[in-house]
Every structure is written in C-alpha cells, then in structure tokens.
Amino acid sequence: MTELYPVQLTVNGMAYARTIEPRLLLSDFLRHELGLTGTHVGCEHGSCGACTVLMDGQAVRSCILFAVQADGHEITTVEGLAANSARLHPLQEAFRAAHGLQCGYCTPGFLMTLIPFLEENPTPSEAEIRDALSGNICRCTGYQNIVDAVLKVEIGD
Amino acid sequence: MKPAPFAYFAPRSLDEALALLQEHGYEAKLLAGGQSLIPAMNFRLAQPAALIDINRIDALSFLEPASDGGLRIGAMTRQRTVERSALVAERAPLLHATMPFIAHMQIRNRGTLGGNLAHADPASELPAVMVALGARFRLQSQRGARWVNAADFYVGLFATTLEADEMLVEIAVPPLPPRTGWSIQEIARRRGDYAIVGVAATATLNADGRCHAARLVYLSVGEGPIQAHDAVAALHGQAPTAAVIAAAMRGASQRIEPLGDIHATPAYRRQLIEVLGRRALTEAFARVQPT
Ligand SMILES: Cc1cc2nc3c(=O)[nH]c(=O)nc-3n(C[C@H](O)[C@H](O)[C@H](O)COP(=O)(O)OP(=O)(O)OC[C@H]3O[C@@H](n4cnc5c(N)ncnc54)[C@H](O)[C@@H]3O)c2cc1C
Ligand code: FES
Ligand code: FES
C-alpha cells in the first residue's frame, strides 16, 4: 500500500483538505476528488493545454503537476470564472459571442491560459494573442474565432 | 497514462535533499519543474522508486548579478523568471532571446533552468546556448561541490557528468567579451515546439574587424549540443564577409551527421544546418559593437 499524504489547498476560494497518493495528478485530483470536471484532460503529457488551471495566479498544466505539489497553494479552475450561474465572465461571454468554441472540449484550457495573459496585457495584438495560445490545441474552430473573441473582449470591473 | 507509485519526499533544505539523494541514488529522481519528468512518468517511460521534490528549497531559486559582470542563476529558477528578467536581458541577451523558443508560457511557468539543463534533451535550446556562452555549472553532493564547463557536462543522449548523488545547483553565465555578438536561430513546425534544427552563436571580432573567436552550437542534430568546430576554424582571422561565412558553413555542414525522424530527413536537417548556421553567424557578427 502506497503511503498517503495530507494536502490542504484552496480551489476557487474554497479550502479543501484531503489525503492522497503522491502520484495523483492535479487534473485527476480536481476532477475525481473534488468533482470539478470543468478542467478537461486531453493528452495527459503536457501537449494540448486542455487541463490548464491557475496556480497562484499563473497558468500551469494540471496534468503534469502532482496534487501533493499544490499543497499550500491557491488553484483557480474554469468553475471559478463566472461570478454566478446567471452571469458569465466577460471572456466567456466573448467566446460565446464570437463563436469561439464548437465542441468546447478545449475551451476551459483556452480561458485559463488567457486570464493571466489579459491581466498583464489587456489590449494584445493579434500576433501576441496567437503566441499566447500556441500551447493550446483546438480540433474544431481553426482558432480564428478564438482569436476574434480575444480581440473583442472587454474585461471591465 | 498514470504514473506508477513512488515514495515522495519534499525537503526544505539543500542538505536534506542531498542526504536523500545520497540515500536513494539511482532509484530516485529529483523533481524540478516536472515538465519533462512527469510526462515521462505518465507514459511510464520513467518509473522512479522515489521522487525528491526540490520545489520547496527556496535557496535554489535566485537570479543575481555576478561580480565578473555575468550572472549567477539558481537551478530552481523558473524559465519564466529568466525570460522576464531585465538583468538577463542586459547581461545575457542571447539567453533572454532564447527563452520564448522554449515550449509554451504554461510550461515555462513551471519548468526550471536547472531541470532543463540537467535533462540534456538534444532538442533543447538551453544546453546549446550555455555551451555557446561558455557557462559553468555547479554540481553538489554530500561529498562536496565542483564546477563543470557546460561543454564538458554533456556526454551523450540525455547523458551528463552528473553522478547519482549529485545535483545541479547553480549556473554561472559569464559576461560576453568585448566586441562580441550573438544569435539564436531555429526552425520548428509550430511556435514552442521542439526545433527540427536550431543553432546558437557567439562571435568576437578583433580590433581590425577580423574573427577572433566564435562558437556555433547546434541542437537537434546529434546526441547533445553539437559544436561546429570546423566552421569556426575556417573563420578564424578572416573578415566575416558573406562569402567567407558561406564557405565556412558549406564545409561544416558536411561534417555533422544528423539523423532522420518523423519530423525531418537527414538531408533536410543538413540543409538547415547550413542555412541556419549562415544566418546565425551573419547576425552575430552584425551585432558586434565597435569599441
Ligand atoms: C509540450 C512541451 C513542450 C516542450 N518544448 C520544449 C522546447 O521547445 N524546448 C525545450 O528546451 N524544452 C521544452 N520542453 C521541456 C521543458 O523545458 C522542461 O521544463 C525542461 O526540459 C525540464 O525542466 P523541469 O524543471 O521541468 O525538470 P523536470 O522535468 O523536473 O526534470 C527533468 C530531469 O532532470 C532531472 N533534474 C531536474 N533538476 C535537476 C537538478 N537541479 N540537478 C540534477 N538533476 C535534475 C530530473 O530528475 C529529471 O530527470 C517542453 C515540455 C513540454 C511538456
Ligand atoms: S491534458 Fe494536460 S496538456 Fe493535454
Ligand atoms: S472547440 Fe472542439 S476542440 Fe476546441
């Protein structure tokens, strides 16, 4: 029997404590332990970006990070974006308006990649957007409408 | 696609980590950014019995000016920190220019300088850049510490001179000598992908505008960083005109033996060796500031 490790972390502002195997990936921890299935898993080796979440405000791939490593850290997932179920985050709204998703499998990863990017650079050029999104794969949209969504988004508040 | 079980250690000090490394040796792996190791564990290409997670050792994460005008960088410094450092941009512009070529922002947020260099992936930009810059690595174990030149550190495919009980703890990047220019060139299918071929160059002119010294170091064309010694020898003492550079590269590209894979044939790689080498040398010489 493998040894279990206690972890305490914050996810979308809520504190959680669990006892887990060290080999548990953060992506599986979020999905299976916490039931936060908004974080998607595409490749499980760091290539597709679908599993992107924020760790202490920075975009990271949760499939190549062990959950034990998030002990004491703050995680934000796509579930943490919208203030409530009636009102989407402006970036989600922009994706909806620009038709920046089709099947939606890649979308949480794109959103979580873009949140810190837009915080630092609220009015990026198209080239900067494409560069920022180079680590996220979408099999449906051809990326054009995703780029359009980012060009049009207005993050106020 | 799930890693095999392992024992997990998260030491807070270097001493503790070195003691664990001494105890577990080849059975254990250091976990730095995990951006190469965890994918390999997910595929079960790597199944270490123990992981020594060095992310909580604050003393390994620093980026400071060195007294010789260069830089001292702790092994656990994140790639993203290096990328954004104004000090790196000023003192090691080649290193600064290289960072965006490495993977994607999400990966550079976690990946470390030391992890990348110790991993010794022949397709990685940083080992070639460190050889081009003449950097030195500090390796430490419970037995003591030693400094190794980047050029001597790489000894084969994913192979370095690190012993089982040793850790890369610091990277010393010297300042560029006077009248020295630099360049990094690569061809990849997609921004952030591993390069099909890449090359880092540094070039120094003497007071008469002739080539005094140069380094031309390739990635993705062999078992590690590959230096084009012949091209550099052909340039020595010459004014670096387009014709001189072209002739030097024509000869040199014939002496490197790249392999073929799903990304490129050997012939295509050889073509890139010549073209990118020419571009890198041309740009490096053009960047030399007269003193
Ligand atoms: C999709 C993807 C694309 C990528 N593209 C590129 C690219 O284009 N160019 C590129 O260069 N890299 C690329 N990488 C790799 C990335 O740069 C890694 O971060 C890096 O190679 C390893 O650094 P790490 O800190 O993540 O190390 P880890 O993955 O934690 O460790 C790698 C290896 O080094 C050992 N190690 C780590 N630290 C030390 C130390 N201090 N002393 C001794 N041994 C140590 C570990 O035990 C392990 O064997 C890519 C990765 C991914 C997932
Ligand atoms: S699932 Fe994590 S990058 Fe693809
Ligand atoms: S919308 Fe289907 S993968 Fe992007």
Residues 6+ apart with CB under 8 A from B25: B164, B165
Q: What is the pLDDT of residues A68-85, one digit of tens each?
A: 999 999 999 999 999 788
pTM to 2 decimal places: 0.97
Q: Looking at residue A61, what is its pLDDT?
A: 98
pLDDT category of residue A1 using cuts at 50, 70 and 90: low
Percent of chain B with pLDDT over 90: 93
The pLDDT of residue B146 is above 80: yes
Q: What is the pLDDT of residues B1-52, one digit of tens each?
A: 799 999 999 999 999 999 999 999 899 999 999 999 999 999 999 999 999 9
For residues B92 and B85, the answer to whether their CB atoms sit within 8 Å is: no
Q: What residues are in contact with ligand 1 under a 6 Å CB criterion?
A: A 46-47; B 29-37, 39, 75, 102-103, 107, 111-112, 114-116, 118-119, 121, 124-126, 162, 167-168, 192, 194
pLDDT category of residue A156 using cuts at 50, 70 and 90: low
> Does A85 contact B at CB distance below 8 Å?
no
For residues A45 and B42, the answer to whether their CB atoms sit within 8 Å is: yes
Rounded Cα–Cα distance for residues A112 and A54 (Å): 7
Contact state of A64 with B191 under an 8 Å Cβ cutoff: no
Q: Looking at residue B268, what is its pLDDT?
A: 95
Which amino acid residue places its CA nearest to atom 53 of ligand 1?
A: A46
Domain ranges of chain A: 5-80, 90-152
The pLDDT of residue A55 is above 70: yes
Q: Give the strand order in the sheet containing B7-9.
A: B7-9, B50-53, B28-31
Percent of chain A with pLDDT over 90: 93
DSSP H or E run through B104:
none
Q: Looking at residue A84, what is its pLDDT?
A: 83
CA dihedral B235→B236→B239→B242, nearest 10 degrees, is 10
Which positions in chain B have a beta carbon within 8 angstroms of at least one beta carbon in chain A? 1-8, 10, 31, 34-35, 38-39, 41-43, 51, 53, 55, 80, 100, 103-107, 109-110, 190-192
The pLDDT of residue B258 is above 60: yes
Q: Looking at residue B9, what is its pLDDT?
A: 97
Amino acid occupying residue A3: E
DSSP H or E run through B267:
helix B266-286
Measuring CA to CA, which residue among B220, B62, B55, B59 is closest to residue B127? B220
Residues of chain B with Cβ-Cβ distance to A69 below 8 Å are 31, 34, 53, 55
> Does A19 contact B at CB distance below 8 Å?
no
pLDDT category of residue A149 using cuts at 50, 70 and 90: very high
Rounded Cα–Cα distance for residues A106 and A110 (Å): 6
Partner residues linked to A60 by β-bridges:
A53
Contact state of A21 with B190 under an 8 Å Cβ cutoff: no
Q: Looking at residue B242, what is its pLDDT?
A: 97
Q: Looking at residue A122, what is its pLDDT?
A: 94
Q: Looking at residue A83, what is its pLDDT?
A: 79
Rounded Cα–Cα distance for residues A29 and A21 (Å): 10
Rounded Cα–Cα distance for residues B203 and B64 (Å): 25
Average pLDDT of chain A to the nearest whole number: 95
Mean pLDDT across B188-213: 94
Q: Looking at residue B289, what is its pLDDT?
A: 85
Which amino acid residue places its CA nearest to atom 3 of ligand 2?
A: A46
Contact state of A61 with B107 under an 8 Å Cβ cutoff: yes
Rounded Cα–Cα distance for residues B74 and B43 (Å): 29
| Closest ligand relative to A102 C-alpha | 3
Topology at the third CATH level for domain A5-80: Ubiquitin-like (UB roll) (3.10.20)
Rounded Cα–Cα distance for residues B215 and B174 (Å): 14
Mean pLDDT across B197-218: 97
**ipTM at complex level:** 0.95
Structural domains of chain B in order of their starting residue, each with its CATH number: 7-53 (3.30.43.10), 58-173 (3.30.465.10), 180-286 (3.30.390.50)
- Mapped onto helix, strand or coil, the DSSP state of residue B64 is strand
Contact state of A65 with B38 under an 8 Å Cβ cutoff: yes
Amino acid occupying residue B188: A
Contact state of A117 with B42 under an 8 Å Cβ cutoff: no
List alpha helices for A8-75, DSSP H.
26-28
Percent of chain B with pLDDT over 70: 100
The pLDDT of residue B211 is above 90: yes
Measuring CA to CA, which residue among A5, A157, A64 is closest to residue B2? A64
Mean pLDDT across B209-236: 96
Residues 6+ apart with CB under 8 A from B112: B32, B33, B75, B76, B77, B78, B79
Q: Looking at residue A19, what is its pLDDT?
A: 97
Tokens 């830089």, residue?
Answer: B71
Which residue in chain B is spatially nearest to A3 when comparing CA positions? B7
The pLDDT of residue B140 is above 60: yes
Q: Smallest CA–CA separation between B253 and chain A, in Å?
A: 31
Q: Looking at residue B255, what is its pLDDT?
A: 85
Residues 6+ apart with CB under 8 A from B183: B94, B199, B200, B201, B279, B280, B281, B282, B283, B284, B287
The pLDDT of residue A137 is above 90: yes
Interface contacts (A, B; CB < 8 Å): 86
Which amino acid residue places its CA nearest to atom 28 of ligand 1?
A: B34
How many whole angstroms from A125 Cα to the centroid of ligand 3?
Answer: 23
Residue to probe by mutation, ligand 1, list B6, B30, B108, B187, most atoms within 8 Å of CB: B30
Q: What is the pLDDT of residues B55-109, one digit of tens each?
A: 999 999 999 999 999 999 999 999 999 999 999 999 999 999 999 999 999 999 9
- Mapped onto helix, strand or coil, the DSSP state of residue B75 is coil
Fold equal for A5-80 and A90-152:
no
The pLDDT of residue B198 is above 60: yes
> Does A22 contact B at CB distance below 8 Å?
yes
Topology at the third CATH level for domain A90-152: DNA polymerase; domain 1 (1.10.150)
The pLDDT of residue A157 is above 80: no
Closest in A2, A28, A65 to B34, CB measured? A65
Mean pLDDT across A111-134: 96
The pLDDT of residue B251 is above 90: no
Contact state of B42 with A45 under an 8 Å Cβ cutoff: yes
